[in-house]
Homo-oligomer: A and B are copies of this chain.
Amino acid sequence: MDAFEALADPTRREIVAMLAARERNAGDIAARFDMAGPSVSRHLKVLRESGLIAYRAEATSRIYRLNEQRLDEVQQWMQAQLDLCRERFDRLGAHLDRMKEKEEGDGKG
């Protein structure tokens, strides 16, 4: 999953956010950045190669759109880590609960 690498750059994250709202052509995207056109074009290429975005040609312009599926893959990896993290936390909570109940059951306190 090379998408993580693509998302490491703030310019590319902005592009992703722009395209999450709606599709846009390369020129509109480039216009939003204080950066030479070719530089933005390269960012688009990285995003394309990561599978996070795709485009269709329309006359002379290329209309970019987000590829939800790839974005979802990244999302799910993140979610999986969080789930593991929280599951562990829950187990700890349950464990402490059991300890507490046992203590109370022992007539201690």
Chain A residues within 8 Å of B, Cβ to Cβ: 4-5, 7-8, 13, 16-17, 20-22, 66, 68, 71-72, 74-75, 77-82, 84-86, 88-89
Return chain B residues, CB-CB under 8 Å to A75: 75, 78-79, 82
Q: Is the CB of B20 within 8 A of A85?
A: yes
Closest to A86 in B: B68
Q: Is the CB of B81 within 8 A of A78?
A: no
Return chain B residues, CB-CB under 8 Å to A88: 20-22
Q: So how many copies of this chain end up in the complex?
A: 2
Return chain B residues, CB-CB under 8 Å to A80: 20
Return chain B residues, CB-CB under 8 Å to A13: 4, 77
How far is the CB of A18 from the nearest CB of chain B, in Å?
Answer: 10
Return chain B residues, CB-CB under 8 Å to A20: 80-82, 84-85, 88
Q: Is the CB of A74 within 8 A of B84?
A: no
How far is the CB of A52 from the nearest CB of chain B, in Å?
Answer: 10
Q: Is the CB of A21 within 8 A of B84?
A: yes
Cα(A71)–Cα(B89), bound, Å:
15
